[in-house]
Structure 1
Amino acid sequence: MAPPKNERAFEANSSIVLVGCRGAGKRTLGFMGALHLRRRLVTEEHYFEKTTGLSRGEYLARHGREAFARQDIEVFKRMLDSNRTGCIIECGMSSLTGEAQDALRQYSSTNPVVYIHREKEQIARHLDAADLQQLLKADGRHRSCSNFEYYNLYDPPNKSGGHISGTSSGASTPLNGRQSGPSKLLSAREDFTRFLDIVTGRGATKAWLESPFSVSSVPPEFRSYSYALRLRLSYLMDMDLEWEDFEARGDCVEFIIDHWPDDLMNVIARQIALIRRKLGIPIIYHVEENPRGERRRTPEEKDAMDADLLELGLRLGVDYISLDLQRHDEFVNRVLRHRGRSKIIGNFWYMGFGALAWQDDRQMENYKRAQGLGCEVVRMVRFCTNDSPAELLEGFKKRLQQEVPDPKPPLVAYDFSVLGVRTPLQSRILNPVKHPDMENERDHLATVSTYYHSYELLFRQFLLDPLQFYVLGSHVSYSLSPAMHSAAYDFCGMPHTFQDVTCSTIDRLNQICLSDSFGGASLTAPFKVAIMPHLKVKSHHATAIGAVNVLLPLRGKTSAILDHANSRNKAGPAREFFGDNTDWSSILTCLRRAISPRNYVQPSKTTGLVVGAGGMARAAIYALIQLGCRNIFIYNRTTPNANQVAQHFNDWAATQGIVGTKGGSHEICRVLPSLSEPWPRAYQPPTMVISCVPATSANGSAPADFEMPLDWLRSPTGGVVVELAYEPLVTPLVAQMHAVRDHMSPSWVVVDGLEVVAEMAIEAFELMTGRMAPKRLMKEVCRKTWEQQQQQQRQGSEMAMSSY
């Protein structure tokens, strides 16, 4: 049976239309989306004035209401028709009219039309109380003329500046006494751009091409082992845990609609938005057959309601839709027609006594039907009462391999009873798990399984191996990485070790890496650039930067990168290695977190400054380029080294077609020869400064102190200073910027080295293990370990002084 045509698989460059009532945040989201997708932002208000030569208010006053209404709808239709590709289109209040909504329905057959809505309390801030209810009622009609929707969660502003705190929640108090949270709208930008990547289908492909070992690059169904954290709507409506407690408890979330509260559609939309924001992992959307507390429905009522709920999941752009293939064809085909970029998990669940046996030929027919319908995953689950030995399921899997032609969708298959899943090892992928502190109530599928228990079992049964990980370089004894990685291993049930080893030669590096138990290494000076010629495979980012800071063994049985990625956490000989760079992305994360809306990156104007010319400086320059900055200056004590780095990136820009801001050349990096020279007047003062001067030089001597010339700090809107060194935490540059904030310009934000090093460890952990990192835990351990090191140093100094 062939699948029906996918009516929501639009061309990747199709213009995206945003509709919704005033106060929903369309203009801000449109701006973010245009920057992310590199598209032109078209607003209804500006288009009307451009077309008629008058603002809407002026046209109404001059021509009257009737003429304005006719002109308004004509301009609206023209705006849609003349901007069908390469745009983000923000619709104004015209979209509330019936004629405009008819035009949007027609437009939605070829383009994504996204309904933006949000909390009533936030919309009320922009409206008179008398207008609120009427407008919200009218706003609900946008669902009928759109094919996607996005719930715009409130993103509270950062009310204080100075230092970016060391926890994901922004709740800790930094050591210098200053406290702040993420910059305004950072979370909204991350959520919305992730949503756009799903709608356009660009996210996973782009991540895979750039860095095939990153967690986001390998979908859960293609990993060696993966786990689905089950969260029921009835539980989320009255949670007894915090969202942070669910971090790294699964590779994806299975969101189960088992309850019908008032305002159901908006409640579901908000919960999907919360999962995206708080956990940032793929979502499986499942509508339970018999919602709790609801009356029994007729088959017709059941089909209509369940279809509407599944339709909502597809509109919300979830990663996976769980589809019961035992429903009738019309129901199944409706979901398949509207699937868009969401993946389909085709389900065959036998929940009662007398469940279809694995050896029954109808199980094979079920799988082939799901395959024929184009399901990306097939899930087959059966209730058993000790009547199904494990060998029967294994026999079914072998039959599939022998009898079903490729490509075969991944299979999730297991038996369960009232005590839970028979064994977490029955299925390799998407095993159902729960949080260890959650009550089960009716959720028998995950009764005995937690992520920690399931993953630890793989090591106890020797399916995975304990490995040795390292941080390697000439001066690593102060590294905070061992403490952070070790805490993450304990959290995830991994018996790995992580240690710092001082070495400075390629021969010694090879000796460590050629061990059968070598799992991976974080590299520092002098290896970041020197290792490049010795690597068979490098990520796109590492090649562009010309430096590597994470080294992984390649142990796959074939040459396929996915095979190598799924061989992580397994021992064995490795003669080839993969190199990646997380320095740049860690810096990028910290910049995004700290940049204020006033200093958003404008390619033609924004200026960045990088201090240093080593491997970290290369990563910093690349981070600025990825942000869209095209005016980058480098200062280094040794000017020839700075010239070499600048030339590397200017040559790379030419190969990528990246054009600078002066004369159409590819020169995006320039060198500042001296601290005594004034800032070049042809360029704006920098709003992003990244200091890559190491805390200690490669030979162990103290580096030269660096402070910024005051002439280089003339930005009227302040900016961000990222200090990568953290020994000491308050470097001369950090101390200078605190003084600048206090006495000259309070708009400067300082990101200290602990914030950056924690991000580096988090990304390295995910690359090395292929598992989600417990970010909050690792950041807390980073700060605490640093504090302990400082206390030990003080005690050592006091003891030394007392001995005199």
Structure 2
Amino acid sequence: MAAPKNERMFDHNASIVLVGCRGAGKRTLGFMGALHLRRRLVTEDHYFEKVTGLSRGEYLALHGKDQFARQNNDVFRRMLDSNRQGCIIECGMSSFAEEAQDLLRAFSRTHPVVYIHREKEQVSQLLDAADVDQLLKADEKHRSCSNLEYYNLYDESSCGASSSSGTSSPVDGRQNSSKLLRARQDFTKFLDLITGRGAKRAWLESPFSVKAIPPEFRSFSYALRLRLSYLVDMDLGWDDLEARADCIELIIDHWPDDLLNVVARQVALIRRNLGVPVIFHVEENPRGERRRSADEKDTMDSELLELGLRLGVEYMSLDLQRNDELVKRVLQHRGRSKIIGNFWLLNMGAIPWLDDKQLEYYARARDLGCDVVRIVRFCAADSSPEILEQFKSKLDETFPEPKPPLVAYDFSVLGVRTPLQTKVLAPVKHPDIVNERDHLATVSTATHAIEALFRQFILEPLQFYVLGANVSYSLNPAMQKAAYEFSGMPHTFRAVTCSTLDSLNQICLSDSFGGACLTTPFKVAIMPHLNVKSHHATAIGAVNVLLPLRGKTGTILDHANSRNKGGSAQSFFGDNTDWSSIVTCLRRAISPRNTVQPSKTTGLVIGAGGMARAAIYALVQLGCRNIFIYNRTKANAAQVAAHFNEWAATQGITANGSGSGPAGQTNTPPPFSSTPPAAVVSQVCHVLPSLLDPWPVGYQLPTMVISCVPATSVDGNALPADFEMPLDWLRSPTGGVVVELAYEPLITPLVAQMQALNQRSGSPSWAVVDGLEVVAEMAVEAFELMTGRPAPKKLMKSVGRRTWEQQQQRGYVPTSYYDFVQ
């Protein structure tokens, strides 16, 4: 069978339609999606009123039920036809009508139509209706007229004050998690998956990010096998599963009541809590199920496989030994999901690796267009590791590049023969999950597998550093060491005080140098000496993470896959995580009401040093096009403003919101509500000359404030972070977020001012992000960049805050602000 045409690949700008019942959250998600994709939001209610000049209720009262139904169908058809490009379309209750569903089926042949649904309990609370069961039953018909679906999990962050670090924050009375933050993150990631934007953007942002390189192309990667039968009644928390593997293989191994919704919810929970790619696998013999006919089972398997594709999972596990019609249907509907073509050789007499039939299996999967080929073979004692390596060599000789990566391993009743048989997508288990059925992964955890790589000298222990003039009390070593131990990597991480490029060279030229976090005075000074830099570091003009490049071929992928290996470095790569850590903290704290609108939103940066540059870049990447800088030395602020205005001009970024946004987005926001003077309309950055001046006319009051005033000077002299905002600058009607980078003391004058303001208003309209949060995010990103492994974020953040508390108990007085920015 030849590879069938993929029927779910749409034009990159094709409008996206959202359908579902009342209370599913379509309007809110539509708003989030429109802002994220820079598209127009079209709502059915508003479109009906625009066409007819009357609201639905008014039209029904004036013209009667029959005329209303005819007009409603006509308006629905016109809404789809006239908004085929560049829109997010939110459908109202009209989508329950058969005529509208026929229109949606036709529309779904060329456009994404997404079914939005959520927990019954949440819909019941929102609608407070007695007929919710009947409504939800009718709602499931939306599956028949859509081609994708999104399970809108309840966002617990909207009602709690839990710290993003997983521990209580010493900054009293504030909510670290903004309302609907996690829902926004989940849905925008889903949109990136179904539109194909995600992988491209991750690679552009940093080719060394764990999100930039797909697991099948990493030097080593692991798939944590989780069974549906376990997840529906799991005895571990989701935090316990963090960073256990590069992806999750969700195995549908039993059929509970309301199966499709149960599975959709589990996929949503994995994405929300673990944030790694999902391999969707439908097991051939689900547990606890009565024996079914082949046709009956194929029907259920087809529904489940279709569901996985509708959910936009990153990988679909497809058994190529099943009937051709089922295989063909999956390949036709694959969309942007990658297909893992499986051959399970489970009998006692499984053919040996060197049999030509194995090459035929691989050839069939390749010819069908599978992205990965997986061959799993049961054996007793008839296959040595060397034989499998011979098969791989034979395969390389037979099939030229490019060809799909191979996942191949033996297993017995005791488990996988060796975790090193396959380098990519090796099956692993969680150390605390007992599952007598999962014989394919009962031997190894990812930590044990990585430890084995170091024991066999396939990977090598390396030395990592934080380097700078004053780093003796950096929090980074404690966080990094905890992450190494968790991940099974025997690396070391030290804080070394040095201030000259010669001393830096002596450390970095060692064969065992793994990477370094850089602080003053190296962030800017090292720039001319780097052959390879991320475009973020180039734009900011500073580097804070340094990596050796040891790839033999010289390609970025080869360099990335040479991490955790020693040897002579050909050159070095510089990246900047200051800005991205600030972005992460801003996104976590800012409310949907203050979501960035490029032509309107205003940001304020206090300071004009290296961190201020990162803060400005962070605001630009969020889409903010009106950025003000205040600094005690006005000339320094003017210099920084000039740097970014010149850079923005080269990128086509202007203050009216046009030009490229994050990762090449095109911003087409609404115009200014109050247009600034024409002479400065092209400038993104402006300087505030004095704290005594009123806020500039024509610009909205700031809703994002980032204080980059150091707690002490670089030479150790006292220079407290004593900045306070003029009250007239804090009168944003929607509040906002303040990021304070200094945290010695933790409650700086600015933090105290914001606390008092929130208390006077009676509600925390201003969220405050303390410096410990930003530091922890920097450490997490540095770990992933330097090792290529997913970071145990909760653990690192907990260790960082605990280390800081211990320093306070010892009466530590910092010698430099830069002790804390790393």
TM-score interval, smaller chain: over 0.9
Equivalence for 2:321: 326
In the aligned structure 2, how far is the partner of 1:675 from the partner of 1:516?
A: 52
Equivalence for 1:802: none
Flag the 1:639–1:179 CA change in 2: closer, same or farther, 3 A: closer
Equivalence for 2:732: 715
1:125 is paired with a residue whose SS is helix
Matched, 1:196 2:191: yes
Equivalence for 2:714: 698
In the aligned structure 2, how far is the partner of 1:773 from the partner of 1:228?
A: 15
> Which residue identity is paired with 1:401?
D
**Residue 795 of structure 1: how far off its partner (Å):** 11
Matched, 1:445 2:440: yes
Matched, 1:414 2:430: no
Q: Deviations over 1:210-241 (max 9, x none)?
A: 21000000000000000000000000011111
In the aligned structure 1, how far is the partner of 2:380 from the partner of 2:79?
A: 63
Equivalence for 1:669: 685
Equivalence for 1:687: 703
Matched, 1:580 2:575: yes
Equivalence for 1:793: 811
> Which residue identity is paired with 1:324?
D
Equivalence for 1:526: 521
Tell me which of 343, 349, 356 is aligned to 2:344.
349
**Structure 1 segment 167-566 matched on structure 2, within 5 A:** 167-168=165-166, 172-178=167-173, 180-566=175-561
> Which residue identity is paired with 2:90?
E
In the aligned structure 1, how far is the partner of 2:220 from the partner of 2:591?
A: 40
**Residue 124 of structure 1: how far off its partner (Å):** 1.1
**Residue 398 of structure 1: how far off its partner (Å):** 0.3
In the aligned structure 2, how far is the partner of 1:795 from the partner of 1:156?
A: 38
**Residue 736 of structure 1: how far off its partner (Å):** 2.4
Matched, 1:603 2:598: yes
In the aligned structure 1, how far is the partner of 2:148 from the partner of 2:206?
A: 29
In the aligned structure 2, how far is the partner of 1:370 from the partner of 1:86?
A: 36
Residue segments in structure 1 that go unaligned for 5+ positions in a row? 797-804
Q: Deviations over 1:441-475 (max 9, x none)?
A: 11001111101101111001000011111111112
2:596 is paired with a residue whose SS is coil
Q: Contact (CA 8 Å) 1:469, 1:520: kept in 2 or not?
A: yes
Q: Deviations over 1:263-316 (max 9, x none)?
A: 000000000000000100000000000000111121111211111110000000
Equivalence for 1:759: 777
Q: Contact (CA 8 Å) 1:159, 1:180: kept in 2 or not?
A: no
**Matched residues, number:** 792
Equivalence for 2:673: none
**Residue 794 of structure 1: how far off its partner (Å):** 6.5
Flag the 1:106–1:152 CA change in 2: closer, same or farther, 3 A: same
Flag the 1:273–1:166 CA change in 2: closer, same or farther, 3 A: closer
Flag the 1:160–1:315 CA change in 2: closer, same or farther, 3 A: closer
In the aligned structure 2, how far is the partner of 1:549 from the partner of 1:238?
A: 44
In the aligned structure 2, how far is the partner of 1:179 from the partner of 1:465?
A: 44
**Residue 732 of structure 1: how far off its partner (Å):** 2.4
Identity over aligned residues, as a percent? 74
Matched, 1:741 2:758: yes
Equivalence for 2:670: none
Q: Contact (CA 8 Å) 1:484, 1:761: kept in 2 or not?
A: yes
In the aligned structure 1, how far is the partner of 2:91 from the partner of 2:629?
A: 43
**Residue 605 of structure 1: how far off its partner (Å):** 2.0
In the aligned structure 2, how far is the partner of 1:377 from the partner of 1:717?
A: 49
**Residue 68 of structure 1: how far off its partner (Å):** 0.8
**Structure 1 segment 118-129 matched on structure 2, within 5 A:** 118-129=118-129
In the aligned structure 1, how far is the partner of 2:787 from the partner of 2:100?
A: 51
504-513 or 12-21: bigger deviation = 504-513
**Residue 527 of structure 1: how far off its partner (Å):** 1.8
Matched, 1:150 2:150: yes
In the aligned structure 2, how far is the partner of 1:81 from the partner of 1:447?
A: 54
In the aligned structure 1, how far is the partner of 2:755 from the partner of 2:504?
A: 40
2:156 is paired with a residue whose SS is coil
Flag the 1:159–1:153 CA change in 2: closer, same or farther, 3 A: closer
Equivalence for 1:75: 75
Residue segments in structure 2 that go unaligned for 5+ positions in a row? 657-675, 815-822
Flag the 1:323–1:594 CA change in 2: closer, same or farther, 3 A: same
**Residue 400 of structure 1: how far off its partner (Å):** 0.8
Tell me which of 566, 570, 589 is aligned to 2:565.
570
1:558 is paired with a residue whose SS is coil
1:793 is paired with a residue whose SS is coil
Q: Contact (CA 8 Å) 1:166, 1:783: kept in 2 or not?
A: no
Equivalence for 1:801: none
**Residue 166 of structure 1: how far off its partner (Å):** 5.0
Matched, 1:99 2:103: no
2:249 is paired with a residue whose SS is strand
**Residue 506 of structure 1: how far off its partner (Å):** 1.8
Q: Deviations over 1:695-729 (max 9, x none)?
A: 22222222253222222222232221111112222
Q: What's the TM-score, normalizing by structure 2?
A: 0.94
**Residue 133 of structure 1: how far off its partner (Å):** 2.0
Q: For the aligned residues, what is the CA RMSD? A: 1.6
> Which residue identity is paired with 1:775?
K
176-185 or 288-297: bigger deviation = 176-185
In the aligned structure 2, how far is the partner of 1:23 from the partner of 1:795?
A: 53
In the aligned structure 1, how far is the partner of 2:619 from the partner of 2:61?
A: 47
Equivalence for 1:57: 57
In the aligned structure 2, how far is the partner of 1:344 from the partner of 1:173?
A: 42
**Residue 511 of structure 1: how far off its partner (Å):** 1.7
Equivalence for 2:668: none
In the aligned structure 1, how far is the partner of 2:579 from the partner of 2:593?
A: 23
Q: What's the TM-score, normalizing by structure 1?
A: 0.96
> Which residue identity is paired with 1:165?
S
Equivalence for 1:773: 791
**Residue 129 of structure 1: how far off its partner (Å):** 2.8
Q: Contact (CA 8 Å) 2:176, 2:769: kept in 1 or not?
A: no
1:69 is paired with a residue whose SS is helix
In the aligned structure 1, how far is the partner of 2:727 from the partner of 2:806?
A: 35
Q: Contact (CA 8 Å) 2:577, 2:781: kept in 1 or not?
A: yes
Equivalence for 1:800: none
> Which residue identity is paired with 2:596?
V
1:472 is paired with a residue whose SS is strand
In the aligned structure 1, how far is the partner of 2:10 from the partner of 2:298?
A: 27
2:653 is paired with a residue whose SS is coil
> Which residue identity is paired with 1:785?
T
Q: Deviations over 1:237-268 (max 9, x none)?
A: 11111111000000000000001000000000
**Residue 179 of structure 1: how far off its partner (Å):** 5.4
Q: Contact (CA 8 Å) 1:555, 1:574: kept in 2 or not?
A: yes
Q: Contact (CA 8 Å) 2:171, 2:746: kept in 1 or not?
A: no
In the aligned structure 2, how far is the partner of 1:666 from the partner of 1:554?
A: 39
Matched, 1:782 2:800: yes
Matched, 1:165 2:163: yes
Q: Contact (CA 8 Å) 2:164, 2:176: kept in 1 or not?
A: no
Q: Contact (CA 8 Å) 2:589, 2:737: kept in 1 or not?
A: yes
> Which residue identity is paired with 2:483?
A
In the aligned structure 1, how far is the partner of 2:650 from the partner of 2:85?
A: 26
Q: Deviations over 1:47-98 (max 9, x none)?
A: 1111111111111111111111111111101111111111100000000000
Equivalence for 2:630: 635
Q: Contact (CA 8 Å) 1:526, 1:698: kept in 2 or not?
A: no
In the aligned structure 2, how far is the partner of 1:437 from the partner of 1:473?
A: 41
Equivalence for 1:20: 20
Q: Deviations over 1:181-234 (max 9, x none)?
A: 411111001111111111001100111122100000000000000000000000
> Which residue identity is paired with 1:311?
E
